[in-house]
Copies of this chain bind each other. A is one copy, B any other.
Amino acid sequence: MYMLQVGINGYGTIGKRVADAVRAQPDMEVVGVAKTRPNFEAEGAVENGYPLYAAIEERAGRFDDAGIELAGMVEELVEAADVIVDACPSGIGADNKSLYDEYDTPALYQGGEDASVADTSFNARANYDEAVGAQHVRVVSCNTTGLSRLVAPLREEYGVEKVRATLVRRGGDPAQTGRGPINDIVPNPVSLPSHHGPDVKTIFPDLAIDTLGLKVPATLMHMHSINVSLEAEPDAEEVRELLERQSRIFVIPEHMDIDGAGKLKEFAMDRGRPRGDFWENCVWGESVSMEGNDLYLFQAIHQESDVVPENVDAIRAVTNAADAEESIETTNDALGIGF
């Protein structure tokens, strides 16, 4: 079987997870990863056997100084790859676009980029087909991914009148010591509704959705406080079962006695998840409730990893290597999604 050659440009929080997820697939392999500077993650790439490319020619010497062997420059990686996953910091992806075009390599971008960078925004559950054969595809952000996975089945099953969501966002990832706030709850953005709603509309253009965003001093996961006014009035139990049937939604059972993101991550680590990752939305089963046609629930979203299986699927979409159902199933099986 031909193995898709995947290059990853930007080997940080997202990039390193995508690399490991790609390697776990039966139909792809990591042709190499690119980074700008040496640190423990660069060393980790080498340790893991990923050929490491320098993203910035002038700084390539720094890897030498740190005793890290390079496989070449990023251009070579782009040339060698069937698909490039760009996982550079927000905004850099757009800068890199011309490089990918130069070598005619299809590219995936992350949610930190503007939607306009790509031909289409992507969520496997909701709009896989739109990315089939596309040259530039943006895998939407962690929050938008989490919202899309929730909205998709609700729309199909009941119809959605309106979504109202408050996104209580972690201030920074666990390793980002420079980010705050330390002791505050910060409306962000202050002006409403927030830009998160329009981002969800890149997946569901005709969805009515208003979002509000806040930042708090926590690092583990985002928390979504969700209201969906449905076009029907199912009972809560039925909705819960619908969500339980979604492969990338984990409905937390009451008896697990999990009260927040700390215990959730502990659970993931106990189950041997790499890096304690949650590729799934985590919905508190107990929270799923209906008041009239208003659905309410809480879901925790692991910002560092929920987009990872989406990137894998998007690779298959742009290369036309599988249809949605087949790709999702392959990805899930290879990673071990679901508990």
Chain A interface (Cβ within 8 Å of chain B)?
16, 38-41, 43-44, 47, 66-67, 162, 164, 166, 168, 170-172, 174-188, 190-193, 210, 212, 214-223, 225, 227, 255-263, 265-267, 269-272, 274-276, 284, 286-289, 291, 294, 296-298, 300
Assess whether B276 is in contact with A187, with CB atoms less than 8 Å apart: no
Q: Which 9 A-B pairs have the closest CB atoms?
A: A186-B260, A39-B257, A183-B183, A40-B256, A166-B225, A175-B262, A177-B181, A185-B223, A269-B275
One complex includes copies of this chain to the number of 4
| A243 vs chain B, min Cβ distance (A) | 14
| Contact among B216, B266, B294, B300 for A210, CB-based, below 8 A | B294
Q: Which chain B positions have C-beta within 8 A of A219?
A: 182-183, 262
Assess whether B185 is in contact with A182, with CB atoms less than 8 Å apart: no
* Other contacts beyond A39-B256, A210-B296: 12, CB < 8 A: A66-B255, A67-B255, A166-B166, A168-B168, A176-B262, A179-B180, A184-B218, A185-B222, A187-B298, A193-B291, A212-B225, A276-B276
Q: Which chain B positions have C-beta within 8 A of A44?
A: 267, 270-271
Most buried by B among A183, A215, A221, A296: A183
List 20 A-B residue pairs with CB atoms under 8 Å apart, sorted by A's residue number: A39-B256, A39-B257, A40-B270, A47-B271, A168-B168, A168-B216, A176-B180, A177-B181, A177-B260, A179-B180, A181-B182, A182-B183, A183-B217, A187-B298, A214-B298, A216-B216, A216-B218, A217-B218, A227-B227, A270-B275
Assess whether B184 is in contact with A262, with CB atoms less than 8 Å apart: yes
Rounded to whole angstroms, the CA-CA distance of A210 and B270 in the bound complex is 36
Q: Which chain B positions have C-beta within 8 A of A185?
A: 168, 170, 216, 218, 220-223, 260-261, 300
Q: Which chain B positions have C-beta within 8 A of A258?
A: 40
| Contact among B40, B193, B212, B288 for A263, CB-based, below 8 A | B40
